[in-house]
Structure 1
Amino acid sequence: MGFILSLIASLILSFTSVTDANFTAVEQAFGREDAAKIVSYGKDKILLQIQGKEGIYAQSQATQLLKDFFNRKPVSSFRFTFRGKESDDSPLTTGAYISKSESFRVTIKWKHMGSELKIESLSIE
């Protein structure tokens, strides 16, 4: 019985550490305007919405669109304001992206794919 409880606890802790590590890495990448790093945590195709323009993009296209946004709206600060779950399979994070002249809400929906956590959709409004 002790072995089973230990196994369950280690699985929960490993999930939590992967989730936290991904959230932290993406949060830092936004602060550095590192579009390639952000997109590297995504699925092969990512639903991307930036200021009303929405589409499903391959990682290379999504990287270019994020770079364009960062060039037009350089970051002053970024931080996640909420880390939670929409469902058991889809964690959700929201953040505040502050540029010199505007503030934006960033919403990221994650998806468990095997043992990895990937960005399924990213919205900047």
Structure 2
Amino acid sequence: MKNHINKNLLVFLLVPLLIMATTASNLDSIAQAIRTGNAKELASFFDTTIEIKINDKEGAYSKAQAEQVVKDFFVKNPPKGFSFMHDGESGGSAYYAIGSLTTANGKFRTYVYLKKKGESYLIQELSFENE
């Protein structure tokens, strides 16, 4: 009986750690894609439909359309640096991160909202707003 309780406790403690490790790995890859202006790599983390906001322009796009929107943004605003400043869990099956993107045309506050789909966390919302 005691052994059964210990196994349950171990599972209870390890599952959140595994989720955080997976999300952290995704965030590292997402940050690298933004830092290098790689819209194709960033799009690999998009869900089938994604909301994108760039300053005052926002809309819902298919994965392919969203990749093109982000590619156009990176062409107009070549990245010079990027880092996430804050991230956290939202509601158990979602995650968010806030970062700062430095481009040739200024700084953009960046917001990424991911939701768990199957075994992966996929981007549902992405925004770039002038700082």
TM-score, normalised to structure 1, is 0.93
RMSD: 1.2
Quote the offset at 1:45 in angstroms: 0.4
| Gaps in structure 2 of 5+ consecutive residues | none
Provide, for residues 33-61 of structure 1, a one-character-per-residue CA deviation record: whole Å limited to 9, x for no partner: 11111121111000111122111111111
Listed as ranges, the matches of 1:33-112 within 5 Å are 33-112=37-116
Equivalent residue of 1:87, what SS?
Answer: coil
Partner letter of residue 39 of structure 2? Answer: A
Provide, for residues 74-112 of structure 1, a one-character-per-residue CA deviation record: whole Å limited to 9, x for no partner: 011001111113433321111101112311011111111
Identity of aligned residues (%): 27
2:21 corresponds to which residue? Answer: 17
Point out the structure with max Rg over C-alpha.
2
**Residue 116 in structure 1 maps to residue 128 in structure 2:** no
Which runs of 4 or more aligned residues in structure 1 lie more than 3 Å from their structure 2 counterparts after TM superposition? Answer: none
TM-score, normalised to structure 2, is 0.89
